[in-house]
Structure 1
Amino acid sequence: MEKAEQSRKKSHHWLRIWRAFLIRLLLVAVVLIITVTALSGYAISKYKQDYYSNSMRVCDIMAKDFTEYNAQNPQLDLWQEYIPKSVNKVAEQMHVFLYVFNADGSCRIASSNSSIAAADLTLNNEMLAGIRKGGEYLTDKASGKIDHSIVEPMLTRGFTFTLTENGVEATYYLFGASYTKPLNLYTTHLFLFMAILSFTLLLIAGVLIFYQVWRGNSQLEQLEAALQRYAQGNYSQPIPVEQYTSSNLELIAALSAQIGSQSGRAEESSRQFVSNVSHELRTPMTIISGFVEGILDGTVPKNKRMEYLSIVSQEVQRLKMLVTSMLNLTKFDAGTIQLNYRMFILNDTAFRTILMFENRLEKRHISVEGLDGEPIRVCADPDLIGQVVYNLVENAVKFVNDGGTISFTFADEEDCWVFAVRNTGNGISKEELPKIFERFYKSDASRSQDKTGLGLGLDITKKIIHLHHAQISVRSEEHAYTEFEVRLPHVEPPEQEHE
């Protein structure tokens, strides 16, 4: 079964490579064929134009020479010697066939290299009409052949010239015909060269494309394997992003690596969160259970019961805040939490909160300042703001130094209510300050001082503050203090509060 699966994967691997290779190679071949055809067509057209122009230029020169010589020597009969001699000489030297036709299309002179006598040659109607209309004629078609006994393709060129004979101007047509063999040979060699060049380029492109496809497929399979590990919850092996540099998968690999890294941290944070929650729940429940059992079975003296019940009450409140935090966190993520605005005295909320930590403060000789300031009434959600106060106070109690001080500030400013909690201690480094409001984040210093904290308090605090359209800021100086300040905007109380 395992061998069959491996064979299937291997077949799929090569099938994907060949499919991608053939598609890319086909596209390159189409582009190459179009490019080669266009270049060949241009080269042939250019060569043909130059060849026609150069090979037949002699006819143009001869026609002009006949007219000029006649004008210079009007008494001479050029047909007796000059024209026939010139025609035969040029035809022999240039390897062309030359013919002189009368205005009616009958042939008057044919060069000596022609296989047909002049009396047997005439211009067809198409050629005669063409040269009469424009004064020139050019074609490489079979219909433009003068000597049809020649099988090979011919290039035919005609020019008009005039002679003055007995005071009368007469029109004649000088035609030249030459083989197109050089042009055909050039075309054949060009196509052969282009074919070899195309095959060579296609072969090189094929090798490069195959390597690229093979490399890209290997990278894709590695990325798929990494994503499968991530899907199975295994984040131990990160994706080597540097291997995908300058490839089509570079962005996907970077994003996948980022997702894997974040998921791995989230997984680790989740495990740590569950462990911390278990500890945070177990600790107050153990205290509550132990003290209640001690009261019930008479182990705790009557004169100590109120003290122990007070501790139980504090742990119940602590447990309540913990559960509320987790419930609110779910509501925040779902966006279903609702604000219940009421007027209340913020100083009283802070006072009740600090009492929950009374035993811990006494054991560490922590002094508290600022609770006896001028009371300020705020309009906000008392439960949620109470949780903010609890989180900030708990944070201050955790990180204040032994024998240190926790200070409260309350103020009613022009456009907002201000509440601040400050504790002496080690403080927070500048590098860690921007991160402390992130969920599950715990600074290096806090990890040693707060081994059971959930890393949720400040994240929840920030969300509650934003729900109130308020602001929270933190200031800290290492080895000196940390201070959190909340600014609640003035809000009109609900109508029932006025009543």
Structure 2
Amino acid sequence: MRKSITTRYFYSTAVLLICSIAVMGFIQMYLAMGYFREENGTALIQTIDNAILAMQEAADDGIVEKRAEAAEAAEAAGLDVEDIKRGITLTARAAGKSILVTDAYGSVVLSIPSEYQGMEVSVKTCNATYSRGIYDEMGTLGGIFSSRYYIAGKPILDEKGMLQGFVFAGANADSLTEYLANLFSTFILSAGLMLMVSSVLSIVLTNRMTTPLRRISDAAKKFGGGDFSARVPVEGDDELAQLAETFNTMAGSLEKIDQSRRSFMGNIAHELRTPMTTIKGFIDGMLDGTIPPENQNHYLGIVSQEVGRLTRLIKNMLDITKLEAGEYKVNATTYDIWESITSVVFGAEQRLEANNIQISGFAPTKTLVLADQDLVYQVIYNLVDNAIKFCNVGGEIRFSVTQSKGAVTVGVRNTGAGIAPEALPYVFDRFYKEDKSRGLNTTGSGLGLHICKVLINLSGGKIWVDSKEGEYCEFLFTLPAPPSSPIKGGKLKDQ
């Protein structure tokens, strides 16, 4: 079963919270036990000190001898055993602890409560207490206590530092269990409430975060169904909002590409249908005798022109496909740009003379560029061919070549009807032809300028158009200049 992002995020958050709460609970319990133990240890030591103080107040000498001689020693020293017992009892009751007083050999000579009197503290415990000066553990004091106790102990020394006995105090550890149980129940209640609130907040926040993703998913499904008009609302300025903006930008590009594709297919159908209809009509006319034999050569010439038009169209389409697919590798070399201009102009000499078109600005001066000569020749050829087609009879074509800031700018300008301002942004689109601004010339396929743009982009330059309707149209493009090429400023003078 597929899990949504909301479900997975909720599970992840829940696991993280549970692990965090478990770690926090463990740390809290550990610290609580340490604190409780430290507090009990401090209280036990204080109880022992109070017991020793009570004994010292009852007598200036050591009060503990061997168990068999304890009473005689106390009487000989003038001690009041009952006063000592009374003082220790008050201390034990005030502190709520059990107190054991032993002689130097570990025999309990006095205990509160009295049930421990006569028992033996192990020699090991006594030695540890004497050597360290203090005893601290959690246990049964060698089996003396019936359950676990917090136990502390200190040796009793006389004024000369001689060992007289030991005092041990114990506190039942059941209080810790009760304390931890209360603490644990409180912690569980708090953790449960926290998990509940966190779960609700997690679901709400996750839904808010995933809503844009669901919208994008829905829009993507519409794209898959062919609807490219879907857009995603942009809310806020976070990463999801940026994703939505990017998605909308992509959607706009896809919609434009789809429209371009449809237009492309329509244009191809139109461009192919027109010459093919003409060819079929003339050939059918020859076959069925509608066109007499004496006129067939004339119409065969028209058919030949239409076939040539189809050939150029197909060639241009193949060129565009290869260029846009990156199959053509640019072979950039350093050469004189005027070589290409001169070659194209000389090749178009007959067409220029037939239309009585004047050439200006044609003053070849060595100007080096770093580009693929074949690509640049194709660009110049297309621009000159375009200029000749739409230049008015008796008009002028002007060339310009300038260089500045490491780039060479080439311009081809022709007089004539020019291009309408609203058509300027589209002149480099595939199959675009604006008959109003281009007169009645319909022999072109609308691919030449698009090819020029692709070729110039491959060459590392840019191309643009400048036009004034009813006066002129000028196409300009830039090419990189070689690093060592000298800078030339200004336009070349007209011939």
- TM-score, normalised to structure 2, is 0.69
Specify the alignment match of 1:495 in structure 2.
none
**Following TM superposition, by how much is the alpha carbon of 1:422 offset from its aligned partner in structure 2, in angstroms?**
2.9
Q: Give the stretch that moved more between structures: 225-234 or 139-148.
A: 139-148
Q: 2 CA distance for matches of 1:357 and 1:275? A: 34
Q: 1 CA distance for matches of 2:103 and 2:435? A: 114
**Following TM superposition, by how much is the alpha carbon of 1:168 offset from its aligned partner in structure 2, in angstroms?**
8.3
Q: 2 CA distance for matches of 1:27 and 1:211? A: 17
Q: 2 CA distance for matches of 1:486 and 1:313? A: 37
Alignment of 1:272-283 (within 5 A): 272-283=263-274
SS for the counterpart of 1:242 is coil
Specify the alignment match of 1:3 in structure 2.
none
Q: What is the aligned counterpart of 1:370 among 331, 342, 360?
A: 360
Q: What is the aligned counterpart of 1:184 among 158, 177, 180?
A: 177
Q: 2 CA distance for matches of 1:78 and 1:324? A: 129
**Following TM superposition, by how much is the alpha carbon of 1:299 offset from its aligned partner in structure 2, in angstroms?**
11
Q: What is the aligned counterpart of 2:326 among 335, 342, 364?
A: 335
Specify the alignment match of 2:133 in structure 1.
135
Q: 1 CA distance for matches of 2:345 and 2:280? A: 28
CA 1:69 to 1:300, structure 2 compared with 1: closer, same or farther past 3 Å?
farther
SS for the counterpart of 1:176 is strand
Q: 2 CA distance for matches of 1:68 and 1:402? A: 137
**Following TM superposition, by how much is the alpha carbon of 1:211 offset from its aligned partner in structure 2, in angstroms?**
3.6
Specify the alignment match of 1:29 in structure 2.
18
Specify the alignment match of 1:158 in structure 2.
153
CA 1:351 to 1:30, structure 2 compared with 1: closer, same or farther past 3 Å?
same
SS for the counterpart of 2:106 is coil
SS for the counterpart of 1:422 is strand
- Check whether the contact 2:395–2:414 (CA below 8 A) recurs between aligned residues: yes
Look up the equivalent residue of 2:262 and give its one-letter code.
Answer: R
- Check whether the contact 2:97–2:171 (CA below 8 A) recurs between aligned residues: yes
1:204 aligns with 2:197: yes
- Check whether the contact 1:137–1:158 (CA below 8 A) recurs between aligned residues: yes
**Following TM superposition, by how much is the alpha carbon of 1:450 offset from its aligned partner in structure 2, in angstroms?**
7.8
Q: Structure 1 vs Structure 2: percent identity of aligned residues?
A: 24
1:50 aligns with 2:45: no
Q: 2 CA distance for matches of 1:104 and 1:438? A: 112
Specify the alignment match of 1:175 in structure 2.
168
Specify the alignment match of 2:69 in structure 1.
none
- Check whether the contact 2:40–2:150 (CA below 8 A) recurs between aligned residues: no
CA 1:475 to 1:465, structure 2 compared with 1: closer, same or farther past 3 Å?
closer
**Following TM superposition, by how much is the alpha carbon of 1:103 offset from its aligned partner in structure 2, in angstroms?**
1.3
Look up the equivalent residue of 2:22 and give its one-letter code.
Answer: I
Specify the alignment match of 2:97 in structure 1.
96
Specify the alignment match of 1:494 in structure 2.
none
1:116 aligns with 2:115: yes
Alignment of 1:224-373 (within 5 A): 224-242=217-235, 246=238, 253-283=244-274, 297=291, 319-337=310-328, 346-350=341-345, 352=347, 369-370=359-360, 373=363
Specify the alignment match of 1:87 in structure 2.
88
Q: 2 CA distance for matches of 1:253 and 1:402? A: 55
Q: 1 CA distance for matches of 2:397 and 2:58? A: 124
Look up the equivalent residue of 1:104 and give its one-letter code.
Answer: Y
Q: 2 CA distance for matches of 1:484 and 1:257? A: 34
**Following TM superposition, by how much is the alpha carbon of 1:62 offset from its aligned partner in structure 2, in angstroms?**
4.1
CA 1:92 to 1:24, structure 2 compared with 1: closer, same or farther past 3 Å?
closer
Unaligned runs of 5+ in 2: 64-75, 483-495
- Check whether the contact 1:331–1:337 (CA below 8 A) recurs between aligned residues: yes
CA 1:320 to 1:374, structure 2 compared with 1: closer, same or farther past 3 Å?
farther
CA 1:61 to 1:398, structure 2 compared with 1: closer, same or farther past 3 Å?
farther
- Check whether the contact 1:157–1:176 (CA below 8 A) recurs between aligned residues: yes
Specify the alignment match of 1:40 in structure 2.
29
Q: Give the stretch that moved more between structures: 415-424 or 34-43.
A: 415-424
Q: 1 CA distance for matches of 2:79 and 2:396? A: 131
- Check whether the contact 2:231–2:251 (CA below 8 A) recurs between aligned residues: yes
Look up the equivalent residue of 2:28 and give its one-letter code.
Answer: L
CA 1:369 to 1:471, structure 2 compared with 1: closer, same or farther past 3 Å?
same
SS for the counterpart of 2:163 is strand
CA 1:27 to 1:224, structure 2 compared with 1: closer, same or farther past 3 Å?
same
CA 1:207 to 1:372, structure 2 compared with 1: closer, same or farther past 3 Å?
closer
Specify the alignment match of 2:48 in structure 1.
59
Deviations 1:293-330 (A, max 9, x none): 9999479999x969x96x88877665544332211111
**Following TM superposition, by how much is the alpha carbon of 1:191 offset from its aligned partner in structure 2, in angstroms?**
0.5
Look up the equivalent residue of 2:411 and give its one-letter code.
Answer: A
**Following TM superposition, by how much is the alpha carbon of 1:252 offset from its aligned partner in structure 2, in angstroms?**
5.6
Look up the equivalent residue of 1:91 and give its one-letter code.
Answer: A
Specify the alignment match of 2:451 in structure 1.
460
Deviations 1:311-354 (A, max 9, x none): 88877665544332211111123433367999965334246569
Look up the equivalent residue of 2:151 and give its one-letter code.
Answer: T
Q: 2 CA distance for matches of 1:13 and 1:419? A: 61
SS for the counterpart of 2:413 is strand
Q: 2 CA distance for matches of 1:347 and 1:227? A: 53
SS for the counterpart of 2:260 is helix
Deviations 1:4-46 (A, max 9, x none): xxxxxxxx68888656644542343223222222233223322
Q: 1 CA distance for matches of 2:360 and 2:322? A: 33
CA 1:18 to 1:287, structure 2 compared with 1: closer, same or farther past 3 Å?
closer
- Check whether the contact 1:98–1:174 (CA below 8 A) recurs between aligned residues: yes
CA 1:143 to 1:86, structure 2 compared with 1: closer, same or farther past 3 Å?
closer
- Check whether the contact 1:276–1:454 (CA below 8 A) recurs between aligned residues: no
**Following TM superposition, by how much is the alpha carbon of 1:239 offset from its aligned partner in structure 2, in angstroms?**
3.0
SS for the counterpart of 1:45 is helix
Deviations 1:63-117 (A, max 9, x none): 3675698669999655646643321221122222222111110122223xx0416
CA 1:313 to 1:76, structure 2 compared with 1: closer, same or farther past 3 Å?
farther
CA 1:358 to 1:220, structure 2 compared with 1: closer, same or farther past 3 Å?
farther
Look up the equivalent residue of 2:110 and give its one-letter code.
Answer: I
Specify the alignment match of 1:496 in structure 2.
none
